[in-house]
Structures are given as structure tokens and as C-alpha cells.
Chains A and B, each alone.
Chain A
Amino acid sequence: MVNSIRELEVLISRLLTFGVFLSIFFVSIGVGLYLMQTGGLTLALGDEWFLKGETVFDVLSNIIGKLFSWSDLSFVFMSMGILLLMLTQYIRVIMSVIYFIFIKDWKYVAITLAVSIILTLSLLNILRAG
């Protein structure tokens, strides 16, 4: 059937499954470390627990920097999990464009490309709200 995009469905499904499990894995390590450090699961709402950076990619590189310096590990692992959760959705959108180019379905290349561009601009913080 010409209409079928079964391969894309399989790809997206595997990507999401992989992304979700890896993300939960990292977050769980972070929560485990937190439990060991504080001896409890009381939530901390202090300033040091907020992610900081100009763009999503900026935040990500900050976290990777911290990982290499092996500091704040529970924060680093939880953050990596959350960022991975976000990034999985982004990769899903980009992957769809590539797939439609691959099967030469130009209508949907145009549609998915438009979505990717808008999303990328918003991730790069170019379309700042207000």
C-alpha cells in the first residue's frame, strides 16, 4: 500500500521506547543517589535544583560538563534523564523529515520540515515569548 508508513512507525516506536527507558534509568540513578545522600525522599525546592542555561542545548552542555567533573551526581543524573526525555521528542520530529525524504513523499517532507524548523527555532530560544 502506497499510503503505508509502517517503517516510520516502527522507527518512532523503538526510538520512544529506547528514549523513555534510558531516561527513567538515569532519573532513577539520580533519585537513588539522592536517597543515599540525604537519607530520605523529602523534596528539595531550593535554587540549586533548577536547570540553568540560555537554550536547551546550552543546559545540556552544562550538565555534561558537570558529569565530567564528577560533581553533584544526583542532580546530574536526574537532569540527564529529563533532558533525554525532551530530546527524544525532538529526535522523533527530525527523524520523520529524514524518513519522508527517503521515501520521496514531498508533501510530508514539507509538512514535517515546517514543524522541525519552528520547533528548532523555539529550542534555540529565537522565538522568545513576550
Chain B
Amino acid sequence: MLNMAVIMLLSFITGLVGALTGLGGGSIMIPLLTLLGVPIKHAVAAGLITVIATSSGSAATYVERELTNVRVAMYLEIYTVIGAIIGAIITNFIAPKLLYFFFAGFLMTSFIGLRGHISKELPVVEKQDKLSSWLRLEGSYYDEALGKVVDYKITNAFPGGLGMFIAGLAAGMLGIGAGAFKVSVQELLLKMPSKVSSTTSNFIIGMTALAGASVYLTMGLININLAAPMAIGTTLGAIVGSRILNKFRNVTIRYLFLVVVLYLIIQMLYKGVTAPW
């Protein structure tokens, strides 16, 4: 039996994990909803509302505490939003089977990449490329776990942008926030510290999910009775998550992220195997 209180509780947990890892939580919520008997398209549409709620709920705190790099986020948004729209258009022309395998491969690459520097607390960038310094992609934040101000520089602005375009494609094609892709690109290519990466991804996914949600909305797929308890639960979870993130070490956040990515890889492979041609 579908009950609002159950949905609220599940959404609370999703919002909490989403706020900590930079994932919107759509890919956690959608399979749960379908298990509970919600048709897949309605689950995806409601999932996008979850992503927006996670983003707004957590970004309010992250931006205020200067963990999110707003400038970098805005530069990257161009790539993700274009990717998302192209993704939504071409998704009808590509076999879903290929799609799932492609994205499983993409996530596996980032899993291996992140696993490689799991114990490194902060990235080191000695020299920024020209575009990154022209766009002033740098920042600093106070790290509560380390007890000091961390200064960082972003590099590889252009390849990083292309990576974000692929993240956008994934979002548009699969109807998810694609936070996992964004966090990976930001850490591996752009060399963001983990906390900045989670929080900047959180900031961006709200906007990307809005573009996606508007498509589902006009297709008449958003069920308010389902979205309402999800919005309440997710927002509260995200608010709680955003208040505790900075107490953890970057390494802890990365471990939590890797666990979720592993789950996503399995999910993508499973869907790839079961999807029709």
C-alpha cells in the first residue's frame, strides 16, 4: 500500500545522502517507487522534483557557507543544460541497451579514477590553464574537519566542460540529475576538492532538473499527490545533510560517494542487460 508517510521517510534519507554526496537522489528514489508500484514514467517525473528539492534544500546552506563555487557552477551550467536538451532529443533514436552500457562504462572509469586517489584529502593544482584563469575559476572555503581555510584552483576548464556536457547528456537521456557524473568530472578533470565538488554539483543539478521537470510537467506526468510528500521529505533530509557535511573529512565523503556509484553501476548494468533492443 502506498502511503505518504512511507514516501516521506524514504525521501528524507534520499535527501540526506544526496546533500552529502552531490547526487540528486533521483536514481535512488526511482527504483524504490517502481518497487512500490508507481509506473516508471511517473516515478522519473517525481524523481526530478526530488532532485530540485535536494538542490534547493542543501544549496541554501552550502552557498551561504561558501562551500559551493558559484562562479564555477555557472560556467559549467552552460555545458550541462545544452547536454541535457540534446540528450532529451536524441534519446528516442538510441537503443536503451547501448545507453545503459555506455553510462555504466563512464561511471566505472570514474570509479577507478576516484578509487586511485581515495586517500588524498585535497587535490594540488600547480598551474592553471589559460581558460580557467581567464574565467577566474578558483576559490577558498573553511574546512571544519581540517580546521583551516582551503584555497584551491580549478584547471582543465574546457575538457571539464566537455565532461559536464556528457553528464548533461546522461541527465537528459535517462531523466536523472546525473550528479554522479558531475561529481566525477569535477574531481578528476577540474581538480575540485571533494566537498566543493559535492556542493557545486548539488547547486547545478537543481537547474538541470528544472529543465527536465518542465518537459515531464507539460507531458502531464507529474503527480502532485506523489510529489508532495517527496518534496517535504527530501527538503528536510537535504537541510539536515547540508548542516553536517563540513564536519566530515573529504575522504569520508568520497567513500560514501563511491558506495553510491558502485550501486549505480550495478543498476545501469542490470538495466542494460534487461533492456530491449
Contacts and interface: CB of A to CB of B under 8 A. Distances in A.
Interface of A: 3, 5, 8-10, 12-13, 16-17, 19-20, 23-24, 27-28, 30-31, 34, 41-45, 49-56, 58-59, 75, 78-79, 81-82, 85-86, 88-90, 92-93, 96, 107-108, 111-112, 114-115, 118-119, 122-123, 125, 127-130
| Main SS class of interface, A | helix
Contacts of A119: 81, 207, 210-211
Sorting the interface of chain B by its residue count into under 10, 10 to 19, 20 to 34 or 35 or more gives 35 or more
B224 A24 contact: no
B156 interface: no
Contacts of B226: 43, 45, 49
| Main SS class of interface, B | helix
B221 A81 contact: no
A102 to B, nearest CB: 15
B60 A20 contact: yes
19 contacts: A20-B60, A42-B4, A44-B225, A49-B225, A49-B226, A53-B217, A55-B218, A56-B217, A75-B224, A78-B228, A86-B214, A92-B206, A107-B135, A118-B78, A119-B207, A122-B81, A122-B85, A125-B215, A129-B91
B5 A41 contact: yes
B232 A27 contact: yes
Nearest to A49: B225
Contact of B215 (A114, A118, A122): A122
Contacts, number: 186
Nearest to B137: A3
B158 to A, nearest CB: 14
Interface in B200-219: 206-207, 209-211, 213-215, 217-218
B244 interface: no
Interface string B50-90: 00110111011101101010110011011001100100110
Interface of B: 1-5, 7, 38, 42, 49, 52-53, 55-57, 59-61, 63-64, 66, 68, 70-71, 74-75, 77-78, 81-82, 85, 88-89, 91-92, 134-136, 138, 172, 206-207, 209-211, 213-215, 217-218, 220-229, 231-232, 235-236, 239
